[in-house]
Amino acid sequence: MNITIADPQPHTMAQVLKEILLFPANGAGICPVRDVLDRIGDKWSLLIILNLGAEENLRFNELRRRVAGISQRMLTVTLRNLEADGLVDRTVYAEVPPRVEYRLTDLGHSLTGVVIGLTNWATAHTPAIAAARARFAG
């Protein structure tokens, strides 16, 4: 699979951004972009989506082991939010001991494309950012 983002033609890129800014209201507080970030911008959502996207489904403690450092509380909280947003499906099996499986919904899967875009940019430009920070600090 390859993810292609067309080489940005500076001028047209600005046009696209203008259209985005015109949309409903970015001047106001309700911008679609802010909406996504309010969803995945917290500390754990993205890592959870990444992990669920990599496996068909994961149980609570499997997920907890993979997302090292997350507390039980925050895993629960974050999963509930993702479930509420329709990004994650939660299936409880009536067994003892209890088994709960989490998987991405179609909506959740559609987000992974965006996440990969973010990741590609991040890995490509993290060095440049680090350099900029060093320059700015010095």
Residues of this chain, 53-82, that bind DNA according to CB under 7 A: 59-62, 69-74, 76-77, 79-80
74 binds, among its own copies, DNA, none (CB under 5 to 8 A by kind): DNA
Query: Could you say whether residue 98 binds its own copies (CB under 8 A)?
Result: no
Query: Could you say whether residue 51 binds its own copies (CB under 8 A)?
Result: yes
Query: Could you say whether residue 8 binds its own copies (CB under 8 A)?
Result: yes
Query: Could you say whether residue 57 binds its own copies (CB under 8 A)?
Result: no
| Stretch touching its own copies by CB under 8 A, among 71-79, 84-92, 95-103 | 84-92
Q: Out of 68, 92, 94, 96, name the contact with its own copies by CB under 8 A.
A: 68
Of 40, 82, 44, 84, whose CA–CA distance to 66 is shortest?
44
**Distance between CA atoms of 117 and 4, rounded to whole angstroms?**
9
30 binds, among its own copies, DNA, none (CB under 5 to 8 A by kind): none
**Distance between CA atoms of 95 and 112, rounded to whole angstroms?**
31
**Distance between CA atoms of 48 and 80, rounded to whole angstroms?**
12
